[in-house]
Amino acid sequence: MSILDQPPSSSQLSSSSMAGGGMTRRQAWGLFWLLAAALVAWLVFAVWPDWLNAILISKKAFVSAILNGITLAGLYFLVASGFTLIFGLMRNVNLAHGSLYLLGAYIGYEVANRTGYWLLGVASGFIVLAAVGVVMQIFVFRRLEGDDLRQTLVSIGISIVAADLMLAVWAGGTYQIAVPEWLDGALTLPVITAVRSNGASVFLTYPLYRLVVLAAAIVIGVGLWLMLNKTRVGMMIRAGVDDRAMLSASGVNVHAVFAIVFAVGAGLAGFAGVVGGSALSVAPGEDVRYLLASLVVVIVGGMGSISGAAIGALLIGLAEQIGLVYFPTYGIVLTFVIMVVALAVRPRGIMGKAR
Amino acid sequence: MSLTLAAQDAAPQQTWLEKLGPGHIILAVALVLYPLVASDFFLTQIGGYSLIFGMLALSLMMLAGYGGMVSLAQITVAGIAAYAIAILGNNNSNVLGFGWPWWLAAPFAVLAAAVASALIGWISVRTEGIYTIMITLAIATATYYFAQQNYAIFNGHSGYAGIHAPSFWGVNWRDPKAFYYLCLGFAVLSYAAILYGARSTFGLTLQAIRDNPRRMRALGYDVTAHKVFAWFLAGIIAGLAGVLLVWFNGRVSPGTIGVDVAIDVLIIAVIGGLQHPIGPFLGALVVVLMQTFAIDIVGAERFNTLIGLVFLVIVFVSPDGILGLWGRIKPYLAQESLRSGP
Amino acid sequence: MRIHRRTLLALALATGLTAPSLALAADDGIKIGLLATFEGPFTVLGEDGERGAMTAVEEVGGKVAGKTIEIVKGSSDASPDSAVRAARKLVEQDGVKVLVGPLSGDEGLAVKDYAKTQPTVTFINGTSAAQDTTLRNPAENFFRFSTDGAQWMAGLGTYAFNDKGYKKVATVAEDYSFPYTQVFGFMAEFCKAGGKVPSKSWVPIGNKDYSSVIAAIPDDVDAIYVALGGADAVNFLTQYQQSGGTAPLIGGSITVDQTVLTSKGKLRDVLIGTPAAGPTADTNDSPSWMKFLEQYKKQPGAFPSPSLFAHGYYVNMKAALLALEQAGGDVSDGGAKLRDALSKLSFDTPTGKVSLDKNRNAIADIFLTEVTEGADGNLLNKLVKVVSQVNQTLGIPEDEFMKLGAVNRDNPSCP
C-alpha cells in the first residue's frame, strides 16, 4: 500500500485551516469551566438558603444528580474511548461496539458468578473482548479495508446477529453482577445536605461503587493518554490517526497497529460492560443504549480524540442525570439537543480536528 | 461513470414503448394484474407494505446512491408525515386532530416531511461521509424519544389511533385492492421520478458532487445547496410513504419510527442494492416476506439471526445487493446457455 | 443482455408474489392464535405467557369439542404497531377465528381498535391491562377475563394507609399508560383514605440509571410506591439498596413479580416485607391454585411460581376453550355462538371466580401480598388478604368513576 493509492481527500488537505482560531476558543472554554467549577464548589459545600432549595428541589437531589452525572460520565467514557480510538485510526464506525459492551457484561457475569471473584470477571471481560476485537479486525474489517461504508454496514449486521445470539444464550432475563463486599454499600460524604431543627447536620450518603467506577475511568483515561503520548505504539497510533498512508509508507506494520487498537478498544468496551453491569444491570437492549451513548459522546466530543471523549462523556452524563431530576420528560432528549448544538457550532465536535 | 451512462442513453429516436423496455412492461403488467391472484393479506400486508417500505428505501437509495449520503433518518421523515396526518386530520385519541380534509392534510404532511428532511440534511451535510450515518442515527433516536415523551403534540407512548384512509370517487382507499393500487401508483411515480431525475441536470450534478465535491465547488456549484435540495426531494418520497403507512396502519406511535425500523430501512436498501431504483423494492419484498413468514419457518426466536446473516452475506459477497448478485451470476448463466446451445 | 435480465426479474417478481393464501384450516382442527411478546424487552414475559396458555391447552388434552387445537403463534416486540401487524397476520393469513393476546397495555388498545375491523373474529385478551381497552369505546368482540392495572391495585391503598400506617407516599413509575393505570388504582384508595402523595416521578422508558431519581425523592415520605417491571425494577431496587435507602417500599403488580424476585443480587434485602397487590399470590394454598401450579411446572423453563403473565394467559385461554366447548367448537357462524358463550361465561379459575361485566371486562378476586423468603430461600409473594370480586370501577358507581377522567401523568393528584 503506497501513498499513491489514496487520493488526497478534502479533509486531509484542509487540516490547517482550523488551527488558528482554536487557541482562543480553548482559553474561553477554560475560563468558562473555571467559573463553573467555582459555582459547583459553592453549591456542593455551602448550606443552601431556602430559596435555592425551592428552585432546585433539594440540595440532596442536586448534588446527587451532579455526582451521578460525573460517575455515569466515567462509564460512558470507558465505552466511548474505545469507539473513538477505533474510528480515529481506521475511519470506520463500528456500530457493533454496543454488542461488545453487552458481551463483555455477560462474560463478566458468568466468570464472576462461577468463580466468586468479581475482579476475575472484570479481567476476563477485558481479555475475552480484546481477543474478539482482534478476530473481528482480522477476519472482517481487514477484508473490507478502505471501504468505510461496507465496514459500517457489516458492523450493523454483526450487531443484529450478536444481539440475537446473546438472547439465545442468556435469554431475556436481567442479570446483576454482584459487587464484592468491600465495594458495596454507601459512603457518607462530608457534604451537608440539610440541617435539622435540632442543629444536627444531615450528611450526604453516596454509593461507594459508583465512586470506584469514576476512579477506574480516570485511571484508564490517564493510562490511555500516557500510552498514546509516551509509548512507541502510541506514537504510531497518533501518526496513523493523522496520516495512515504515510505511516505505512514509513515501514510500520499498520495491520499490527490496527489490531492493537481494535483489541484495546474492544477490550475497553468489555471492561465497561462488566463495570457497568455491576453498577446497573445486564439485559438485552443495553447494547443499543451504550452504542447510542458512545455515538453521541464522540459526536459531541470529537471523533478520534480521547480528551474529546472525556469532555463529551462529562457533558452527556451530566445532562442525562440533571435532566432526569429537573425535567424528566425531556431528559433523554436533552442529550441530543446538546449534540445538535455542538454540531452546529463545531461540526467535528468540541475537540475534533478538521481532517 | 454516470456521465458516460447518460451519454449512451441519449440514443436515437425511440417510441416510448421501446424506451420503457420489455422488462419494465412485463413487470408493470404483472404488478397491475397481481390483485387478480393474490389474497387480501398478500395484497396489503405483503404487496402494499413492500411498496411502502420500498419507497422509504428508495428515498434512502437516492441519497446514498446518487448523493453519497447514507441516512438512517428516512423513517423519521416518514413518521413526521404520518404524525402530521394524525394531527391535522382526524384521530380517535382525543388529542389535537384538526379535522382537515385529506386533500389538504396529505399534501401538507408531505411538505412538512420534506422540510424536516431538508433540515436533517442541512445539519448532516455540514459533516461528510461516514459521519452522516451517525448523525442521522442520533437524530432518528432523538425524535423517537421525543415523540415518546411528548404528550402535547405526539400523544406519548400510545401515539395516535383511529386514522382513516380517505374515501373519494366512490372508492374507500383502504380497501385491499384500492390501497394496493394507491401504493403501486405512488411507488411507480417515485420510481420514474428517480429514474428520470438521475439523468437530469440536477441528478448529474449531484452525482458529480458525490464523486468529487472539491472540484464541483471549484467549478462554482453550491455543494451544500444541492445536497440539501436532494434531501428535500428524498423527503417528498419518504413523506408520501409515511402518509401511505399511516393510512395503512390506521395508527402511528413512537414504535413506528423506532431505531430498529430505521435500521430495517437501511437493510432493505442494502439488500436490494443501491445502484438502481428497482433495488429498494426488491429488498423490501425480500425483507417483508422474511419478516412475515420467518415465524412459521424458523420460529420467532431466531428470526433476527437469519435476517442479520442474510444481510452480512450480501454485504460481504455483493456490495450492490441482490441486483449486484444477479449481475455476478448472469455472465455464468449466459456462458451456460451458449454452451448448451445448438 | 439487459433486456434478458429485466425480463427474468419481472417474471420472478410476478410468480413469487402470487402465492395464494395457504391458510386452509384442517377440517377436524380448530386454530387459535396466540399473540405475545416473543421479541424485544418483554421476551421473558411473553414466554411465560405462552407457558400459561399452553397449560390451559394441555389441561384439556389439546382437544376441544372433539376437535384438535392448533396454536398459531404471533410475535410482537411490545410496540402497538407490531402487535397489530402480528394480529393481522394471524387473522388474515393464518385464518384464526379466535385470538388470545396481547401482553402489554398499549398493544391491547391497538388490538382492540383492530378488532373492530374484524367483527367475525373473537379476540380474547392476554395480559394487557390498560383501563381503556374495555372501559371507554370498547370493541364488541374483545373480551378480557384478566383484570386491568387499576383493579390489580385493589385493597393496596387502604392497606398501606390503615395497616402499615403510611401517610405520605412518593411514587416512582415508568412514563406510559400501564403505570399510569397502576398509580391511579393505588392512589384512588390511598387518597380516599386520607393519604398524601407529594411527589410523583415519571421515569422515561428506557432509562436504567435511577440513582438521581432516588435522590430526588423527598426525605420525609413514609414509603415509596414503585411501579416498574422487569429490568427496570431490578435496576431501581439495586440502586436503592446501594444508595442506602431506608424508606420502605410498596410494589406495583409487576414490581414484585417472579421475573423480578428470581433475579440474583442484593435487592432481596430491600424487597422483603414489601406489600403489593395483583391477580396472583405465590403462597395461595387453595387446591385449585395448587393444581394449576403443578400443571404449570410441567412446562419447559417454568419459573418456581407462575408469573402474572402465565396466569393471565392461562385464564384467558381457559375461557376461550370453555366457550368453544359450549359452542361445540363451531365458529362457522362468524363466532356469534362463541361470543354469546363468552359473555355469559362464569367459571372458577385457580384464583377464584371470574365473570364479565357489560363491557366484557373481568370481575375477579385480587390478592394483597407481602414479599417473604420461602423455605428454600426463594422470594415469594405471601398472601395477606383476598379482595373478592373487584370490578373495573373499583366498587365506585360507574358515572362517578367516569368523572374521575382518563388516567394520565397528573390524574389523580393529592399532594
Question: Would you tell me how many other CB atoms lie within 10 Å of the CB of residue B339?
Answer: 7
| CB spacing of A328 vs C201 below 8 angstroms | yes
Q: Which residue of B has its CA nearest to A349?
A: B127
Name residues of chain A where pLDDT drops below 70: 1-23, 196-197, 353-355
* A112-131 CB burial, b ≥16 within 10 A, e <16: beeeeebeebbbbbbbbbbe
C76 grid coordinates: 410482537
Confidence at residue C27, expressed as pLDDT on a 0 to 100 scale: 54
| Chain A positions touching chain B (beta carbons under 8 Å) | 10-11, 91-93, 143-144, 147-150, 152-154, 156-158, 160-161, 163-165, 167-168, 288, 292, 295-296, 299, 303, 329-330, 332-333, 336-337, 339-340, 343-344, 347-348
Residue type, C344: K
Chain mean pLDDT for chain C: 84
* Predicted confidence (pLDDT) per residue in B208-235, tens digit: 888 888 888 888 888 889 999 999 999 9
Q: Determine the straight-line distance between the first and last CA of chain A, rounded to whole angstroms.
A: 21
Question: Closest Cα partner for C88 from A56, A151, B310, B176?
Answer: B176
Instruction: Report the b/e string of C89-117 with b at 16+ CB within 10 A.
Output: bbbbbbbbbbbbbbbbbbbbbbbbbbbee
Helix (H/G/I), strand (E/B), else coil: B224: helix
Q: Which residues pair with C226 in a beta bridge?
A: C172, C251
Are A228 and A238 a contacting pair, CB within 8 Å?
yes
Question: Is residue A331, in this structure, part of any structural domain at all?
Answer: no
Residue A276 belongs to a domain: yes
pLDDT in the model for residue A12: 41
CB contact under 8 A, A329 and C244: no
Q: What are the angstrom distances between the C-alpha of B106 and each of B74, B80, B256? A: 18, 12, 18
In angstroms, the CA B83 to CA B81 distance is 6
Rounded Cα gap, residues A319 and A314, in angstroms: 8
CB contact at 8 A, A128 and A107: yes
Beta carbons of C24 and B39 less than 8 angstroms apart: no
What does the DSSP 8-state code read for residue C192?
H
B126, B141, B259: residue with CB nearest A343: B126
Q: CA of B221, closest CA in chain C: separation in Å? A: 34
Give the pLDDT band (50/70/90) at residue B111.
Answer: very high
The predicted structure's pLDDT at residue C14? 42
Measured distance CA(C280)–CA(C257) in Å, rounded? 9
Asked if residue C381 lies in contact with residue C393, where contact means CB atoms within 8 angstroms, the answer is no
pLDDT at B12: 52
pLDDT at A305: 81
Q: What is the pTM of this model?
A: 0.84
CA dist A274 → A126, A279, B42, C207 (Å): 9, 9, 47, 19
Contacts of B304 in chain A (CB under 8 A): 160-161, 163-164
User: Is the distance from CB of A164 to CB of A288 less than 8 angstroms?
Assistant: no
Q: In the structure, how many helices (H) and strands (E) does chain A have? A: 14, 2
Q: How far apart are CA C367 and CA C364, in angstroms?
A: 10
Within a domain: A315? no
Question: How far is Cα A308 from Cα A302, in angstroms, rounded to an integer?
Answer: 5
CB contact, 8 Å: B304 with chain C? yes
Nearest to B38 among C18, C85, C113 (CB): C18
CB proximity C411 to B under 8 Å:
no
- Judge whether A8 lies within some domain: no
Closest residue in chain A to residue C47, using alpha carbons only: A172
The residues near A46 (Cβ < 8 Å, ≥ 6 apart) are none
Exposure string of B222-254, with b = 16+ CB inside 10 Å and e = fewer, is: ebeebbbbbbbbbbbbbbbbbbbbbbbbbbbbb
Chains in contact with C, where contact requires at least 3 CB pairs less than 8 Å apart: A, B
Residues 364-393 of C with CB under 8 A from B: none
Query: Is A324 in contact with C263 (Cβ distance < 8 A)?
Result: no
Query: In this structure, what C-alpha cell is assigned to residue C162?
Result: 390503615
Please say if the pLDDT value at position C134 is more than 90: no
Percentage of residues of chain C with pLDDT beyond 90: 19
| DSSP-assigned letter for residue B168 | E
> Percentage of chain B surpassing pLDDT 70?
89
The SS3 of residue C174 is: strand
Cell numbers 445487493 correspond to what residue? B321
- Provide CB contacts within 8 A for A13, sequence distance 6+: none
Note whether A351 and A310 are within 8 A (CB). no
Q: In b/e form, how buried is each residue of C261-270, taking b as 16+ CB within 10 angstroms?
A: bebebbbbeb
CB of C243 within 8 Å of a chain A CB? The answer is yes
| Cα–Cα dist C336/C358, whole Å | 17
Give the chain C residue whose CA is nearest to the CA of A62: C216
Count chain A–chain B contacts defined by CB atoms under 8 A: 107
Q: Which residues pair with C361 in a beta bridge?
A: C144
C387, containing H or E segment: strand C379-390
Three-point CA angle A83, A85, A87, nearest 5°: 70
- H/E stretch holding A149: helix A148-170
Contact A205 C219 (CB under 8 A): no
Residues 6+ apart with CB under 8 A from B235: B59, B77, B113, B114, B115, B116, B117, B118, B121
In the predicted structure, residue C9 carries a pLDDT above the cut 70: no
Highest mean pLDDT among B34-38, C186-190, C265-269: C186-190
Q: In terms of CA atoms, which chain B residue is nearest residue A141?
A: B316
Cβ <8 Å between B45 and C74: no
Ordered DSSP codes for C23-48: ----TTEEEEEEEE--SSTTHHHHHH
- Whether the CB-CB separation of A337 and A323 falls below 8 Å is answered with no
Provide, as residue numbers in chain B, all residues whose Cβ is less than 8 Å from the Cβ of A11. Answer: 128
Band (B298; pLDDT cuts 50, 70, 90)? low
Residue B336's pLDDT band, with cuts at 50, 70 and 90, is: low
pLDDT value, residue B6: 42
- The H-or-E segment that residue A207 falls in is strand A201-207
Q: Which of C48, C171, C212, C254 to mutate to test the interface with A (most CBs of A within 10 A)?
A: C212
Out of A64, A175, A322, whose CB is closest to C211?
A64
**Grid cell in block for residue B5:** 451512462
End-to-end CA distance of chain C: 77
Distance CA(B27)–CA(A7), nearest Å, equals: 42
Contact A92, A141 (CB under 8 A): yes
HSE-CB of C277 using CA atoms within 13 angstroms? 29
Fill in the DSSP letter of residue A180.
P
Q: Nearest CB to A148: which of B130, B135, B307?
A: B130
Exposure of B151 in the CB half-sphere (CA atoms within 13 A): 10
pLDDT at B113 over 70: yes
pLDDT recorded at residue C1: 37
B95: amino acid identity, one letter = V
Residue-wise pLDDT tens digits, B245-265:
999 888 888 888 988 889 889
Spatial distance between the Cα atoms of A46 and C226, rounded to a whole number of angstroms: 33
Mean pLDDT value of segment C50-73: 89
Cross-strand bridge partners of residue C275? C370
Averaged over C216-232, what is the pLDDT?
86
Task: Answer yes or no: is A42 within a domain.
Answer: no
Residue B296 has pLDDT above 60, yes or no: yes
Q: What share of chain A is helix, strand, coil (3-state, %, to 5)?
A: 75, 5, 20
What pLDDT does B333 receive?
67
**Residues facing C68 on adjacent strands:** C29, C63
- For residue B309, name the pLDDT band (cuts at 50, 70, 90): confident
Number of separate domains in chain A? 1
Subunit contact C216:A175, Cβ cutoff 8 A:
no
Looking at the complex, report in whole angstroms how far the Cα of residue C405 sits from the nearest Cα belonging to chain B. 12
Range of the domain at A245: 67-284
- The tens digit of pLDDT for each residue in A50-97 reads 777 777 777 778 888 888 899 999 999 999 988 888 887 777 778 899
Residue C23 has pLDDT above 70, yes or no: no
Digit-coded pLDDT (tens) for C292-331: 999 999 988 888 888 889 999 999 999 999 998 888 888 8
List chain C residues with CB under 8 Å of A318: none
Q: How, if at all, do strands C67-75 and C63-64 pair?
A: antiparallel
- Cβ contact (<8 Å) for A184 and C206? no
Q: Mutate one of A208, A324, A330 to test the C interface: name it (highest C CB count within 10 A).
A: A324
Structural domain includes residue A132? yes
Please compute the mean of the pLDDT values over residues C88-115 and round it to a whole number: 88
Which distant-in-sequence residues (6+ apart) come within 8 Å of C28 by Cβ? C67, C68
CB contact under 8 A, C81 and B256: yes
* Residues contacting C2, CB < 8 A, separation 6+: B21, B23
Domains of chain B: 41-340 (1.10.3470)
Q: Measured between beta carbons, which residues in chain B are less than 8 angstroms from residue C176?
A: 156-158
Residue C257 DSSP one-character state: S
- Domains along the sequence of chain C with CATH: 29-147+286-364 (3.40.50.2300), 151-283+366-403 (3.40.50.2300)
User: Nearest Cα to C112, choosing from C56, C51, C177, C57?
Assistant: C177
Q: Which residues of C touch B23 (CB under 8 A)?
A: 2-3, 5-7, 9-10
Which runs of E-coded beta strand occur in C76-188? 98-100, 122-124, 142-143, 169-174
Q: Determine, for residues C21 and B148 on separate chains, whether the beta-carbon distance falls below 8 Å.
A: no
Q: How far apart are CA B87 and CA B99, in angstroms?
A: 8
Question: Does residue B2 register a pLDDT over 80?
Answer: no
Q: Which one-letter amino acid corresponds to residue B194?
A: I
